[in-house]
């Protein structure tokens, strides 16, 4: 077992949750995470979000579709990549999240213990 939870896993559960909420594409999720964790002094690097998304596709949890950002193609030709659950993706995601939850709890236990033991 590793020491702490990996950044990758941490990000992945957030991405899964975002897909559950039908929210968006990579760049958007990146900005959301940065906003939500700014007060914690954490700014996930852009590469990690894309890597995490790619891995979730590899794991057969998500699949991709492409779409033009603006409703009107004449206005905005920017192409974005949307993510959705595969047929059995939701179930796989549930399982993955469960594993990460276990690890999150483990890490919380260790950090709380460290505070208790040393401070």
25 binds DNA (CB under 7 A): yes
Helices (H), the chain: 7-20, 26-37, 46-58, 89-118
Among 7, 28, 59, 86, binds a second copy (CB under 8 A): 7
Q: Which of residues 36-65 bind a second copy (CB under 8 A)?
A: 36-37, 40-44
Tell me how far, at minimum, the Cβ of 63 lies from a second copy, in Å.
21
> Among candidates 101, 88, 81, 109, which has minimal Cα distance to 12?
101
Q: In this structure, are residues 12 and 52 in contact, taking their beta carbons and an 8 Å threshold?
A: yes
Which residue carries 């993706």 as its tokens?
Answer: 89
Tell me how far, at minimum, the Cβ of 84 lies from a second copy, in Å.
18
CB atoms within 10 A of CB 19: 22
94 binds DNA (CB under 7 A): no
Interface positions with a second copy (CB under 8 A): 1, 3-5, 7, 10, 13-14, 16-17, 36-37, 40-44, 97, 101, 104-115, 117-119
């Amino acid at each position: 077992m590793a020491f702490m939870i990996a950044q990758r896993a941490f990000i992945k559960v957030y991405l899964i949750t975002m897909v559950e909420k039908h929210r968006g594409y990579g760049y958007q999720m990146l900005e959301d995470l940065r906003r939500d964790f700014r007060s914690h002094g954490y700014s996930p690097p852009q590469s990690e979000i894309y890597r995490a998304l790619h891995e979730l596709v590899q794991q057969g949890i998500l699949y991709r579709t492409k779409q033009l950002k603006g409703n009107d193609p004449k206005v905005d030709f920017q192409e974005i990549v949307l993510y959705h659950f595969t047929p059995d993706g939701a179930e796989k995601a549930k399982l993955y999240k469960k594993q990460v939850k276990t690890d999150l709890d483990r890490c919380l236990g260790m950090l709380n213990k460290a505070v208790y033991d040393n401070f």
